[in-house]
Amino acid sequence: MKATFEPYVLKFKRPGGTSRGVLTEKLTYILTLEEDGRTYLGECGLFKGLSADDREDYEQKLQWVCDHIDLGIQVLWDQLREWPSIQFGLEQAFQALSFNRYKDEYNDPYNPDLFESAFKNGEKGMQINGLIWMGDVDFMRQQIQEKLAEGFKCIKIKIGVNWESEYQILKQLREEFSPEQLELRVDANGGFTFEEAKVVLQQLAELKIHSIEQPIKAGNVEQMAELCAHTPIPIALDEELIGVFEREDKLALIEKIKPQFVILKPSLVGGIRGSLEWIDACDYNGIDFWITSALESNIGLNAIAQWTAILYPEMPQGLGTGSLFTNNFPTRLEVRGEHLYRNK
């Protein structure tokens, strides 16, 4: 077996606005395993400025992984605790290898079968939320109208930059659509202060918002725990999970904050195995979760979607990001209405 990696810069079709700034491109890394003339790909979805493994020696660590690929996935994963995006890229490539190694036909390394399910076979779709990026009021309204026209019944709106305008958009949406007609989720990306968040939570409750992701910046555990204990609407942890590597620390964080939901982004929390450690902590505390992509290319999104499908999700998932880039890889994933499918 031979392993190599290559950086790849994804270009956004249109700038994506968040409370952390506007995104026009995203660097990612494609890991390639070669065995018996076949190639198996995994995406190490580094997220600059957000990933715990956003370090100057990232490419050196990837080269070390390639030089020691014979150690196997179990040993490598354990030795990469502080490199979650590399953990996930390795999981993808090794899963593609193990699932397809003895099959007669394997000619699509960009879209490998990874986990057996009705979704994998193109027989069943998964409900996803429509993602609305930040921008001026007209731009946000345009995005919302597009998603409503496509049939989405769950919309997630990025907030935390201009709350007054964002609140008016949410208020108008709720006046037009009841909670039964349209589920509204908001994602603050840590955009509010503790005092601001307490006011915003009350305003969101009046609009019957489903949930808010990360109302204040990660790392303020005591304040987040207080918000979760008294919030009038569910709070979901997102960035709060980044950089928590050990299983016992994950359980301690969940038990301390006691959020209503947890958002899992495999590229940021150690891939499938790292996500499952968070899920165990959630299950132990009676907390629900959903899976969200983190601006991966279609290679990573294919893996996240197939894995999510075997969890039998009941809520809308955050997996509709495959159409964001002008130079994405070929894919069998397709959004039809508010559902994500994998074409046969």
Amino acid at 310: I
List 147, 158, 198, 217, catalytic entry: 158
Single out the catalytic residue among 156, 198, 217, 265: 265
- Give CA–CA dist 102/243, Å, rounded: 37
- The distance between the two most distant Cα atoms of the chain, rounded to a whole number of Å, is 60
* Chain center to CA of 236: 13
CA-nearest of 8, 42, 111 to 327 is 8
C-alpha angle 310/314/317, rounded to 5°? 80
Residues constituting the chain: 344
Integer Cα distance of 43 and 146 in angstroms: 30
CA-closest candidate to residue 299, choices 279, 325, 276 = 325
Active site residue 153: no
State the angle between helix axes of 271-284 and 247-257 in degrees (0 to 180), rounded to the nearest 10: 40
Neighbouring-strand partners of residue 340: 126, 335
Give the whole-angstrom CA distance, residue 253 versus residue 251.
6
**DSSP labels, 234-273:** -EEESGGGTT--SHHHHHHHHHHH--SEEEE-HHHHTHHH
| Cβ contacts of 102 within 8 Å, gap of 6 or more | none
**Is 256 noted as a catalytic residue in this protein?**
no
Q: What is the DSSP letter of 193?
A: -
Catalytic residues: 158, 265
